[in-house]
Amino acid sequence: MIHKSFNRRKFLKAAFLGTAATALAACAPQTVTVEVTRQVEKQVEVTKEVVKEVEKNVEVTKEVIKEVAVTAVPVELKGELTVWGHADHPLDNAGQAFMAKNPGVKFTFVGEDGWDKKVEAALAAGSGLPDMVWYEADATQVAARRGILLDVTEMVKKHESELVPSKLAEARYQGKYYGMPGDITPNNYWYRTDITEKAGAKDINPDIKYDEFLQLSKDVKAKTGASMYVMNSNFTGQGILPFLVPHYSLGGNVSDESGENIVIDNEIGQQAMNYAKQAWDLKAGLDADWFSPPYWGAIKEGKLGGTWSPPWMRGFFETEVTSPERGQGKWRNMLVPAYPGGKARCNVWGGATLCGFKTVKDPALVMAYMEYTFASIEGATVTGNWGIIPPYLPWLKGYFKLTKASLFEPTWDWTGQIVKALDQMRTDFYRLPAYGVMMGSLDKFGLPMLKGEKPIKDGMQEWGDYIRAENKKLLEAIK
């Protein structure tokens, strides 16, 4: 992946709301009213360059933002921070912004494939760990049980009422927090009306049912050659969403809240696999591994007209889709199609937690970065502009509306659609260690069912038995 540049101009555009209001605040907490740029200029000392950036790039209205809390200037921070994660990452952007705010801090982000294997090697060697990593939900739970993570309970508890509850649960183990709740993923369905129009459909009905969606996909494929979803032949990557979305929607789980009882093979799991098989049998999906050259090529050539997508995928899309000729500014989003008996019209896929290791040299500096990144307006704006959805409610309730996106149609209320999905998120969805076992074996056990080589009921039971055995071994190993 190519790292996104993050220059001064881009930083000012992304983070002015926090920086302009807090840079020269008095020592005592106070409140200032933000109305228009001239008011900002009167109340804080900002440069003409910042004002020009504000006027050009950000629409600040009384309706969206009425007050910005201005807190005391923090104690000067000094030290070094290192974070590992995948390439092209919002935490890199946040680190650059954090350094701009704290010149005494040196921040280094290492983005590469296989960083998790490097973590295990460093743990085995007893040295070489970074300060922080970007752990998925199940990996956070595993690492917490292993006792290798920094306890950040005191810091997170200061913000509990300001963070999305379902994300808090993913960072919590036995009543303590072992990570800063990070990206939330209320999935939408993304689509292009210029492609559906070629097939005779002016737009997609916002209340579309799953069987109607399959018919639309069939028609679009026949008339335009474009796919309305990804369904690759190895059942991995984005191609697994035709199973994960209905499974979540119907109220499914891999395990119960204890993490010990596996329920993936119950009636909900079987029905979700039936829905996935319907999409498979239609032969209308894009057969390409996600983020591969054929995948990006299909998008740029107008051969992918729609896809179930998590919000964080916008960051990757906007790196690749850079002109109207290639689809820039032509996408819309909506709640996922409705499944009969469904409880939610979204799902959760991905969405990591920012975790530190208990071996860090400066826990206070690590927690200061965590707090800035996901529990401040400024940090949430920077990471939100990359493409993920921070869990910070004060940002979600107002500032999120200001987030710009080059991918979606300029007049489309794409943030409003994500907020609708946010309201659909379940509080009874558990991504405990067994979730990782499920994700790592979905293709092996799912493909025979999709291909019709094994009845779904039998295949799901076999899969469930496998997860039960592997989950038991995993839980015993990390006690």
List pLDDT tens digits, range 279-337: 999 999 999 998 999 999 999 999 999 999 999 899 889 999 999 999 999 999 999 99
**pLDDT at residue number 361:** 94
Dist. CA 397–CA 379, nearest whole Å: 15
Q: Give per-residue pLDDT as tens, 182-206.
A: 999 999 999 999 999 999 988 999 9
Instruction: Place 76 in a pLDDT band, splitting at 50, 70 and 90.
Output: confident
State the pTM of this model: 0.79
What is the per-residue pLDDT across 361-381, written as a single tens digit (0 to 9) for each?
999 999 999 999 999 999 999
Task: Indicate whether 71 pLDDT > 70.
Answer: no
CATH number of 79-183+350-411: 3.40.190.10
Q: Is 79-183+350-411's fold the same as 188-347+426-477's?
A: yes
Q: List the domain boundaries for the chain.
A: 8-70, 79-183+350-411, 188-347+426-477
Asked whether the predicted pLDDT for residue 14 surpasses 80, the reply is: no
CA angle 297, 303, 305 (to 5 degrees): 120
Residues 470-475, mean pLDDT to the nearest whole number: 96
Return the CATH superfamily for domain 188-347+426-477.
Answer: Periplasmic binding protein-like II (3.40.190.10)
Span 33-41, mean pLDDT?
30
